A = this chain, B = another copy of it.
Amino acid sequence: MSTLFLRTLREDPADAEVASHKLLVRAGYIRRAAPGIYTWLPLGLKVLAKVEAIVREEMDAAGGQEVHFPALLPREPYEATQRWTEYGPNLFRLQDRKGGDYLLAPTHEEMFTLLVKDLYSSYKDLPLTIYQIQTKYRDEARPRAGLLRGREFIMKDSYSFDVTDEGLDASYAAQRATYIRIFDRLGLEYVIVQAQSGAMGGSRSEEFLSPTEVGEDTFVRSPGGYAANVEAVTTPVPASQAWDDAPAAHVEDTPDTPTIETLVAAANADHPRDDRAWTAADTLKNVVVAATNPAGERGLLVVGVPGDRDVDMTRLEAALAPATVEAANEDDLKTHPELVKGYIGPGVLGPQARPEGVAFLSEEDATIPYMLDPRIVPGTRWITGANEHGRHVFDLVMGRDFVGDGTIEAADVRDGDEAPDGSGPLELARGVEIGHIFQLGRKYAEALDLRVLDVNGKQQVVTMGSYGIGVTRAVALLAENNHDELGLTWPVQVAPYHVHVVATGKDESVFEAAAALATELEAAGVEVCYDDRPKVSPGVKFKDAELIGAPFILVVGRGLAEGTVELKVRAEGTSEALPVDDAAAVVVARVRAALAG
């Protein structure tokens, strides 16, 4: 410790919000170089190396072969797959001295595809899984939480290449099993959730989410084992209903009812229903949103959801990926006089007051797409806007009186919603994505023309899987999941040191005994941080040891006169006296037992 390049801090860094960020900085593991860009100090690098080693061992054990791609790449391959554009402002772009366009790669599907195309040409070469552990770049709009969402970060990404769909299934299953082993070895809790593949393309997609309050991702799980991120949750579609005995739609005055709440109150007061009171679920809320595609083209659409739900912009954006979405603004509405704010409806009833030459949402020549929540099935009856200020239409029947241009998963998902597979009510939770596995299928192979000769001598487009682990993020999550009010509490598998030996007091024999113990432990393969600082108080030394968070703390101090040293188990807060002569052997045994799991 007297020479270790380290300076612990007693105060949290000003920009840190989550515990892992605060503690990794305070305990001298990382330092910020720029927003979302971190320097690794010696302690942090040790943890990072251990996480990488576990990932590498398991990838190799699963037959993965390691390669290493550049981070600085030319534009062309990413142009071929549209991602040069689709990544939008998330991509760091630059030019070289000759004006050539380059990027800092956020992911390497294109390069892996081209490399396999370069080297391989036959089905006999496949299946193949190759991977790298490499530094990636993403120009996040809001880098946050230290290593949890950075702009320069390390990922393990692997890619599988198969001729057949069955082969892809097998490669995918092998990577999935490997991920389970990796996260188990790292001691990271995880939930495997169904995911949308978003801008990555492809079909089957699962995320490994680590549940944590500080997570940015929301996911759901059911008692029956269903789990998905909110973007991937599909709404159980109710059966269509007959509308034979439904009353005809009728427009009513509903003054001052621009919100669902005011509308329901007015409906119950002025137009009561016979059998029960109107609720928000009886109303159809139509939300105008603006979507912008990667080329920068902006367009409006209207999303219809039951009035007891909100539009979840995250789900909507996932449904419209790679477009980005935002709420429509006043100017948007002005260009569409058929949209009467607070009273928007599909608008198919007779001669309502409408601007000349414009069509309502549900009409054939409407200019704005009208997308409906899957719950809005034929036969359902709604109270909704009449496209006139202060008026709503009642008993408007889907299928009879209006239709949409399609369905969209955009309504928010709530605690207690039924799981799509009928496995019970959903529970919402927060987590951080630590792994993501995709069946990319043939999208990249087609875009970049990766084919091999099959067993019949025919050219076949290869099918691919893509598998990622956030390595730096895993370090952050390990810190997030393993800390208390005193500092970090690393699992032994990834701790920078197994044992922190603390010599206290000024007695030379204490320092000699501590040094001897440290040497003995190291000779047995135990990794030791020895606090040999001569003029630092025991209190400061203990605080530092607790902050740094090695799993075992061995204190050599006053007890030495009686022939004992003190062994503390950091995570459990326990402490016991050991005879100094046995101490090394006991600690070695404890460390080995802990490492063996």
A interface residue numbers (CB < 8 A to B): 3-7, 28, 31, 33-34, 37-42, 45, 48, 63, 65-74, 89-90, 92-94, 96-97, 102, 104, 111, 115, 118-120, 128, 130, 135, 137, 139, 141, 151-152
Contact = CB atoms under 8 A, between A and B. Distances in A.
Contact of A5 (B69, B90, B130): B130
B97 A89 contact: yes
Nearest to A533: B124
A65 B92 contact: no
A94 B139 CA distance: 12
A137 B72 contact: yes
Given A72-B137, A96-B139, A111-B39, A67 B34 contact: no
A73 B92 CA distance: 12
A545 to B, nearest CB: 19
25 contacts: A3-B63, A5-B119, A7-B118, A7-B119, A7-B120, A28-B119, A31-B115, A33-B69, A33-B70, A33-B73, A34-B102, A37-B72, A37-B73, A38-B70, A40-B67, A41-B67, A42-B65, A45-B68, A70-B152, A71-B135, A71-B152, A72-B104, A72-B151, A90-B97, A92-B102
Nearest to A88: B97
Contacts of A115: 31, 39
Given A128-B5, A135-B135, A118 B37 contact: no
B92 A72 contact: yes
A371 B104 CA distance: 45
A296 to B, nearest CB: 14
- Number of this chain's copies in the complex: 2
Nearest to A97: B89
A130 B139 CA distance: 29
A45 B66 contact: yes
A67 B45 contact: yes
A71 B71 contact: yes
A141 B39 CA distance: 29
A5 to B, nearest CB: 5
Contacts of A97: 89-90, 139, 141
In the A-B complex, the 8 residue pairs with the smallest Cβ-Cβ separation, listed nearest first, are A94-B94, A40-B68, A7-B119, A89-B97, A34-B74, A5-B65, A37-B70, A42-B65
| Residue with the greatest number of chain B CB neighbours at <10 A, chosen from A33, A74, A115, A141 | A33
Nearest to A130: B5
A119 B4 CA distance: 11
A455 to B, nearest CB: 15
A67 B33 contact: no
| Residue with the greatest number of chain B CB neighbours at <10 A, chosen from A97, A118, A128 | A97
Contact of A72 (B111, B120, B128, B152): B152
A69 to B, nearest CB: 5
A42 B71 contact: no
Contacts of A152: 70-72
Contacts of A67: 5, 39-42, 45
Nearest to A94: B94
Nearest to A127: B3
A71 B136 CA distance: 10
B104 A65 contact: no
| Residue with the greatest number of chain B CB neighbours at <10 A, chosen from A4, A67, A90, A118 | A67
A462 to B, nearest CB: 14
Contact of A39 (B3, B37, B70, B120): B70
